[in-house]
Amino acid sequence: MSQMCSSSVLEQNVSKFQLLSLSEDPDLQPLLFGLFLCMYLVTMLGNLLIILAISSDPHLHTPMYFFLSNLALTDIGAISTTVPNMIVNIQTHNELISYEGCLTQMSLFIIFVCMDYMLLTVMAYDRFVAICHSLHYIVIMNPRLCGFSILVSFLLSLLDSQLHNLMILQITNFKNVEISNFFCDPSVLLNLSCTDSYSNNIGKYFLAAVYGLLPISGILISYYKIMSSLLRIPSLGGKYKAFSTCGSHLAGVCLFLGTSTAVYLASAASQSPRKDVVASVMYTVVTPMLNPFIYSLRNRDIKRALSRLHRCTV
């Protein structure tokens, strides 16, 4: 490692990074351009429709749909930090990104992805209160608590982003300027450090533990309490009716955690950057695109609101 670094050390004043293209085959470029443009437009349209349906229907002005509209807004931000730049790179055949642009993209990506994770945790708590403390739901999940939850989620996400930024800025030597992903992945950037910084490693694992384990612990505890409460309901119909309100959220959690875990396992087990990129596409593109379908197709209130919205626009 030290020999490789000593032969190709790049100083901190590096001006550009080289992103990894999805395919070197020129015949595939138009197909990839059309595919990711369609996926981006579908994601934008689906999430915007959810936000519009919730904001236009007074019956949906509840804590659950308040969090859902914020989740949709976060998904729009998450996919907009990576896919438009990738589409432009495919069209222009230029995968270069400036040092400042790379840090900006990384920071925004961390904010939105972390915010997504925090919102899923808050939504799990909301479902816990709705099922286990249904008589006090309105009192507990009051507008002040809902707004405070969004604010805390954003501030924690911003802190995570700035701590990653600080670790990257402390890197004085880079192995090379080639990033083995189609966007400025923070884990890839940290691995480009030519020196194994003890403080950076400690910071990386600490942030992974805090921002990874605490939210999932909150989700698991919430669903443990929910399942314990459901077991006390005598009728099967009552159990199904109570748990049906959690179905969309549980599917969203499984999709988010499943794709993020797949990215981690793929990067750990695979030696091929191309395979890592495929896993990253699932995590950064497919998940935000599928969320609107998950939360609308299984939700009668959302479907009714979308139908009313359609009738008003026709």
Give the long-range contacts of residues 308-314, CB within 8 A, separation 24 or more. Answer: 308/56, 308/57, 309/49, 309/52, 309/53, 309/56, 309/57, 312/56
What residues does 174 pair with on adjacent strands? 10, 193
Per residue of the chain (314 residues), what is the pLDDT tens digit? 444 565 444 444 577 888 888 877 788 888 999 999 999 999 999 999 999 989 988 888 999 999 999 999 999 999 999 999 999 988 888 888 998 999 999 999 999 999 999 999 999 999 999 998 988 999 999 999 999 999 999 999 999 999 989 888 887 777 778 888 889 988 888 878 776 666 666 777 788 788 888 899 999 999 999 988 888 877 777 777 777 778 888 888 888 888 777 666 665 555 566 666 777 787 788 888 988 888 876 677 787 777 777 677 66
Listed residue (190, 176, 150, 174) closest to 11, CA to CA: 174
Distance CA 127, CA 180 (A): 39
- Full-model pTM: 0.88
3-state secondary structure of 19: strand
Report the CATH architecture of 2-313: Up-down Bundle (1.20)
What residues does 312 pair with on adjacent strands? none
* Residues in Cβ contact with 2 at an 8 Å cutoff, skipping those fewer than 6 apart: none
pLDDT at 136: 92
- 43: how many CB neighbours lie within 10 A of its CB? 25
What residues does 193 pair with on adjacent strands? 174
Distance CA 81, CA 93 (A): 19
Domain ranges in the chain are: 2-313
